[in-house]
Amino acid sequence: MEVQRKQINEIIMTPLPKPTIQQAVESLSDRDEFKAIVQFIRDERERFFADLRQCSETNDVMKIVGGVSTLDELLSLLTIENS
């Protein structure tokens, strides 16, 4: 009985191919929720630039620049225009 159950689970649990980031972005890009996330990332990037203007210490500048770089990388992955 246990062997049959395991065989049935193996048949039912056939792994689906994992989509690439580009495929996922293309399938989600028309959704309002996805657009809201991309816009939030853009807004945060702009906020980081505003914070950068107020920095007086090198360490703070480096932290903000790292954040901007990370957000830029996310935006390049999440926007089709850059594909």
pLDDT of residue 17: 86
CB 78 within 8 A of CB 38: yes
Overall domain count for the chain: 1
pLDDT of residue 25: 94
Q: Report yes or no on 38 lying in a domain.
A: yes
In eight-state DSSP terms, residue 14 is: P
Residue 22 CB contacts under 8 Å (≥ 6 apart), including other chains: 83
pLDDT of residue 3: 57
Q: Report yes or no on 62 lying in a domain.
A: yes
Q: Report yes or no on 27 lying in a domain.
A: yes
Helix 58-78 and helix 32-53, axial crossing angle in degrees, nearest 10: 160
Q: Report yes or no on 13 lying in a domain.
A: no
Segments forming the whole domain that contains residue 50: 19-82
Largest CA-CA distance found in the chain, in angstroms, rounded:
71
Q: Report yes or no on 5 lying in a domain.
A: no
Q: Report yes or no on 8 lying in a domain.
A: no
Tokens representing residue 34 in the block: 């996805």
DSSP H helical ranges for 13-57:
21-28, 32-53
Write out residues in the chain with pLDDT < 50, as ranges: 82-83
pLDDT of residue 12: 64
